Structures are given as structure tokens and as C-alpha cells.
Structure 1
Amino acid sequence: MLDPAKTAKVSVTVRNDTSTPKRVKTVRISGSALALTFFAYDTTVPFEVPAKSSETRSFPLEPTDLGAQAIGLLPVTVEVIDPQRETIASVETTGDVRGSLWSVYGAFGLGVLVLTALSWLGALIALARRRLPPNRWQRAMRFLPAGIGTGLVAVISLSVLRLVAPSPSAEIPFILGAAAVALLLGYVTPHPGEQQPSEMETVRIIR
């Protein structure tokens, strides 16, 4: 758990299975989602790990500005970096970030929600006004952005609600599933040039 109001105690154990000593200068803790990094903390913790042995170091981490950066369950990567700024080793885990809904990650999710709602609204208005393309696949592609956005909204919502952390195994099924449903809806929409039964009846009465 990473709480901006509390100091976290981090303990890192590095095992060196090589035949040469390894020098560690920095420990980096970063959180990312949807291929975007939302926070990263570098802490200088210099130590050396002899060959064929392990070393453990503990240090406090004060993520005071984390509340403005992220919220919810996020994939967290812990890296140990040498003096040349190269990563020696890393491990991935899941972090429970106790940030604000108005953080960068929360605002990103709200932005995706607004864009998705506008995409659905535009597609449905075009359907109601019969302004969709005559070609079925073109109509399907008109609904595709709304479907992708719906999948992204689902992934971010589950993360913010602390139900499922965003990862490829969770992101891909939601996004592809929502995109497939949107494509299908667009494909089966009526041809914009087709007359509805009520309209055909009106034409006959006028004649």
C-alpha cells in the first residue's frame, strides 16, 4: 500500500548469482498503466552485493505528492540501478495507491470517459439521422472508437475501484471484447437509405 499521508518502509533484497560484485546506487519504484508511467520515485541507496551472495537494504519512502499522481490498483515495478544508470534487476508487483480521484490517473480516466460518451453520442445521432455510411463495414468502423473507449473505461474503473489491476491479461480481453461488440452493433445497423415500414405506409397514403 502506498499512502501519501504515511511513510512507507521499503525493504529490498538483491541476490547476485554472478561471479563479479555488483554495485547498487539507486532503487526506483514506479507505477504504470496502459503503457503510461504515472509515478516514479528514485531513492539513493548505495551498497555492493558480493558475488554469489545477497544483501538487504531498508529505507523510508515518503510519497507525499502521490495523491496528485495516481489512485487505485496499479502495476508497480521495483528496480535496482547501478552507478551508470543501468538496471541491474527488477521485480513487478501490484500497488494499492491511496491517491485522489482528481490525480493524473483519475483525470486520465475521466477524460477517456468523456471522449467515449461523445463517441457513442455521435454514432447514435448519426444513426438516428441516417447519416451513417451505406457500407456495412464502414458503419461498423464508425462505432469502433466508442467500443475501444468503453473497454478502456472498464479497465480504468476496475483499477480505481481496486478490483483488478490493469495488466495485458486484463486489458486485452476488455478492450477487444468491447470493440467487437461495437463493431457488431455498427454492422447490423439499418442501411441509411432503407425506408421504415411506417414511412412506406405514409407514402402509400399520400399517393
Structure 2
Amino acid sequence: MKIALLGYGKMGKTIEKLAVEKGHQIVAVITGKEQLSKLSNADVAIDFSVPEAAVVNIERCFEQQIPVVSGTTGWLKDFDKVLKSCQNRNGSFIYASNFSVGVNLFFELNQKLAQLMAKHNEYKVSLEEIHHTQKLDAPSGTAISLANDIIAQSNYTNWKLNGAAQGEIPINALRLEDVKGTHTITYQSSIDTISIKHEAHSREGFALGALLAAEWLQNKKGVFTMKDVLGIQS
């Protein structure tokens, strides 16, 4: 598989290393708009760029009929626009706030727990996410996904970073040196506390998941999620 890397930060470099180990070929590394013409030889593009570049990168791939796997967060205000662009150009697209197989299983666990807790109003839910100090957006895309999944299963109406009103899920975002990603969901009452937690030990889990998604996306058309890649039933 010939891969174009959109963005060449820590994740891009990790994906490159693992892709080569798996026998894939990196045919382009794109770090600026002027380099997007290099995409033509790619079978797939994997996007871990920055929020300001993601939409342009993704849409240029659709124009050239190159499937896209995107893990860039912080640009989702334009998500519907990108989905419409994919559909209009008969493109292929997978977006995930987190490509780790473990995190996607954690998403399912979070949804199930939210269903179980929905009738127990004595418990108040909160989220905490911890990442490295270089992470640009807060809260993390993963935390937002977790919060939205709880909202879909409960009476909560919104989430709020650093302090929440009635009916909102509070998210606390911390930035510490060399933390790959930790997400904790806590339900607390006056009697007891229930928590579930996912802690990443390296970036390889995210990179391997993105490569798995890129391999799965070959010869498919449409918009997909990691549920499709992993065969998880809704």
C-alpha cells in the first residue's frame, strides 16, 4: 500500500516507522499546502496534521480520488462540510478522534455504562483527560467523543470545559510532560464512586489503528468509522 502522510509530527513519524515495518511504502510527506500536488501516487492518505490544515488536506484528497484516514482533531466545526464533499466526489473517508483499538473498545464500554447509569440520578458524571504539553486542542477529541456518547444515553444536554452548569458534563483537561493520553470517566454519589479509565502507554496503538483503518478502507466508497473497521455492532 502506498501511503501519503499529511502532517509529519510525532504521530506521522510513528506511522511511517510502523508502515514500513508492515511492508507499506511512504510515497509522500505533506507538511504544507504547496506540497499537495505530491498526492497523485498514493493509495491512501493518513492525516495527522493540524486543525488549520485538515479540511484543505482532506478535500484535496477527495478531488484526487484518494481515500483519507483522518485523526486530526480540533476542526470538527467543518465536519458536515467535509462529509458532504466526500459524498459529492464519491470519496472514501474514515475519521476517528482516536484510532487506538483499545480506546474504541473503551468507547463501547462508556456507552454501555452510560445506559446503565441513566436512571440513577444520584450519580453525577465527570470526565478528565490528560495529554502531553504539545497537544494543541483541549478538551481532546477523544474526551468530546466520550462526552457526546454519554449525552446520547442520558439526560445531560452538553459538556463544558473546566466547570459546568446543571445538565452539563464537566471535562477537566490537564497537560503534563510526556503523557500519551489518559481518559477517566467518573460517576460519583454521596455513597460511592464508579470509574472507568483508559491509559495509553505509547503512540503505537494510535498509529497501528490508523494503519488498520487505511488497509480496511482500500476499494471502499463512503464515510466510515472505527466501528466499521472493527466490526462493532451499534
**TM-score category by the smaller chain?**
under 0.3
TM-score by structure 1 length? 0.26
Larger radius of gyration: 1
